[in-house]
């Protein structure tokens, strides 16, 4: 287990940094992925490091594994909006909550392909298609398979987020050319029941196993700021980092509070705590892309810059992030220019 980041000196109550611990765990974060590398306590200890030490460690790990000035850019399109039967407490697309989201049926193939072309012209390398379903029925999946084929043919990486997958569906997605499947764990197992009751944590893990078994890249992360504790934030990261093969892509979302959803009115998370979460994700999953996802529209440029320093190296680019706002592509381009970031 990781020692406390700081130890009070017995004589005068000064706080001294335990540098052995820092070095040992820096080495640890660069090891090849092995199962159960990180306990929740280990990760809490990362959160508790002095901010500068945490950032230094995250930057060091980041630079050992990635070009520190390159950020992968994805575009996300909601191909079927609203009317979802699930009860995720943060989601304006759940049919049971009264939000301003209007239900829209599955988009036509031509419209999806046109949106993908536009995303490519704007510099996206990956195109993510999201549908508000508990999981796709076979009749829903078939048109989505066609979308995946056509988007792939444009030279874009493809990603889909369609809910829980049943046996045989990951195979069909693989066959269509799907590169990534997104399915978030959302939060730590201990907090999960406070947010969602219509599907279990185990359901989510099973979908991720189905995706992994087909050699489709896994995109899985969570939402921060839903009222969870720091331990629970660490618990989410432990779940992800301790997978036999951690997700290639780890979206870390800051809760976007939408009126009409149960989590509207949750106490706002300190943005530096969000930056700490990004840094802890980077250290515990050294070779994964850590994506700064929902919630970015509410962040200052300075906070976003801190997130990139902490090791975030992927964003969603474009006007809409499913049904909540996302900084306009031009604003992002300006920020990248200011920070000297290149798009991947
Ligand atoms: S997060 Fe997904 S599964 Fe949950 S209510 Fe929203 S659309 Fe449905």
Mind listing the pLDDT tens digit for each residue in 276-296? 999 999 999 999 999 998 888
The strand pairing partners of 83, in sequence order, are: none
What is the C-alpha to C-alpha distance for residues 212 and 197, in angstroms, rounded to an integer? Answer: 25
pLDDT at 312: 97
Of 132, 222, 322, the one to substitute when testing ligand 1's pocket (max ligand atoms within 8 A of C-beta) is 132
Instruction: Using the mean position of ligand 1's atoms as its centre, give its distance from the Cα of residue 82 in Å.
Output: 8
307: annotated active-site residue:
no
CA-angle at 101, arms to 100 and 102, nearest 5°: 110
Bridge partners of 158, per DSSP, are 127
Instruction: Write the DSSP string, 118-134.
Output: HHHHTT-SEEEEEE--S
195 lines ligand 1 (CB under 6 A): no
Instruction: Tell the residue nearest (CA) to atom 2 of ligand 1.
Output: 132
Q: Which one of the listed residues 84, 126, 204, 307 is annotated catalytic?
A: 84
Residue 8 has pLDDT above 50, yes or no: no
CA of 162 to the centre of ligand 1 (A): 9
Ligand 1 atom at minimum distance from 134 CA: 3
Is 132's C-beta closer than 6 angstroms to any atom of ligand 1?
yes
Q: Which residues pair with 247 in a beta bridge?
A: none
Q: Ligand 1 atom closest to Cα of 85?
A: 8
pLDDT single digits (tens) 17-69: 333 433 444 444 444 455 558 999 999 999 999 999 999 999 999 999 999 99
In the chain, domain spans = 6-63, 67-343
Q: Please name which of 266, 267, 315 lies closest in space to residue 291, comparing C-alpha atoms.
A: 315
Give the residue carrying structure tokens 């043919």.
153
Can you tell me which atom of ligand 1 is nearest the CA of 131?
Answer: 7
11 has a pLDDT exceeding 50: no
Catalytic residue among 128, 210, 212, 307: 128
- Indicate if ligand 1 lies below 6 Å from the C-beta of 163: yes
Q: Record the tokens describing residue 123, joined without a space.
A: 């510099």
229-254 burial, b at 16+ Cβ within 10 Å, e below that, comes to: eebbbbbbbbbbbbbeebbbbbbbbb
The model's pTM is 0.86
| Whether pLDDT at 13 is above 80 | no
Distance from the alpha carbon of residue 263 to the mean position of ligand 1, in angstroms? 14
Task: Report the CATH superfamily, name and number, of domain 67-343.
Answer: Aldolase class I (3.20.20.70)
Contact 121, 84 (CB under 8 A): no
Q: Which residue has the tokens 């629970």?
A: 232
Q: Are 235 and 180 in contact (CB under 8 A)?
A: no
Would you state the structure tokens that stand for residue 23, as one six-digit string? 């070095």
Q: Is 88 a catalytic residue?
A: yes
pLDDT digits (tens, 9 = 90+) for 315-338: 987 655 445 555 566 788 889 999
Mean pLDDT of the chain: 88
Contact 179, 216 (CB under 8 A): yes
The Cα 256–Cα 248 span in angstroms is 24
Q: At residue 158, does pLDDT exceed 70?
A: yes
Q: Which of the following is catalytic: 57, 126, 159, 282?
A: 159
For tokens 């992994």, name the residue.
212
| 30 counts as catalytic | no
DSSP per position, 138-179? HHHHHHHHHHHHHHHHTT-EEEEE-SPPPTTHHHHHHHHT--
Site to substitute for ligand 1 among 80, 87, 163, 195, most atoms within 8 A of C-beta: 163
Separation of 25 CA from ligand 1 center, angstroms? Answer: 37
CA 212: distance to chain centroid? 17
Indicate left, alpha or beta for 315 from its phi (over 0: left) and psi (-120 to 50: alpha).
beta
Is 159 a known active-site residue?
yes
Q: 286 and 64 in contact (C-beta within 8 Å)?
A: yes
Q: Is 128 a catalytic residue?
A: yes
Residue 263 Cβ contacting ligand 1 at under 6 Å: no
DSSP type of residue 285: S
| Cβ atoms of 18 and 7 closer than 8 Å | yes
> Is residue 86 in contact with ligand 1, taking CB distance under 6 Å?
yes
Residue 150: band (very low, low, confident or very high) from pLDDT cuts 50, 70, 90: very high
């Amino acid at each position: 287990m990781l020692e406390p980041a700081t130890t009070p000196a017995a004589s005068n109550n000064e706080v001294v940094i335990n540098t052995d611990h820092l070095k040992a765990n820096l080495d640890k974060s660069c090891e090849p992925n092995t199962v159960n590398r990180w306990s929740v306590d280990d990760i809490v200890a990362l959160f508790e490091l002095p901010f500068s030490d945490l950032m230094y460690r995250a930057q060091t790990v980041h630079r050992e594994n990635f070009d520190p000035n390159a950020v992968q850019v994805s575009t996300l399109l909601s191909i079927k909006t609203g009317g979802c039967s699930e009860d995720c407490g943060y989601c304006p697309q759940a049919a049971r909550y009264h939000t301003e989201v209007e239900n829209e049926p599955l988009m036509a193939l031509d419209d999806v392909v046109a949106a993908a072309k536009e995303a490519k012209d704007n510099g996206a390398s990956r195109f993510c298609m999201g549908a508000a379903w508990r999981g796709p029925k076979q009749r829903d999946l078939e048109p989505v398979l066609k979308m995946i084929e056509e988007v792939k043919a444009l030279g874009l990486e493809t990603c889909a987020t369609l809910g829980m997958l049943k046996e045989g569906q990951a195979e069909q997605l693989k066959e269509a050319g799907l590169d990534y499947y997104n399915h978030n764990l959302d939060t730590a197992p201990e907090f999960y029941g406070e947010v969602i009751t219509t599907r279990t944590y185990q359901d989510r893990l099973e979908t991720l196993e189905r995706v992994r078994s087909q050699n489709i890249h896994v995109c899985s992360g969570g939402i921060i700021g839903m009222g969870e504790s720091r331990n629970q934030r660490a618990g989410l990261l432990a779940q992800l980092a301790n997978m036999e093969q951690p997700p290639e892509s780890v979206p870390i979302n800051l809760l976007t509070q939408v009126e009409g959803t149960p989590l509207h009115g949750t106490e706002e998370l300190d943005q530096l705590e969000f930056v700490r979460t990004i840094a802890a994700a980077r250290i515990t999953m050294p070779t994964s892309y850590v994506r700064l996802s929902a919630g970015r529209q509410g962040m200052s440029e300075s906070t976003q810059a801190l997130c990139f320093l902490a090791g975030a190296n992927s964003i969603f680019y474009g006007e809409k992030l499913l049904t909540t706002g996302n900084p306009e592509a031009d604003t992002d381009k300006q920020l990248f220019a200011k920070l000297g970031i290149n798009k991947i």
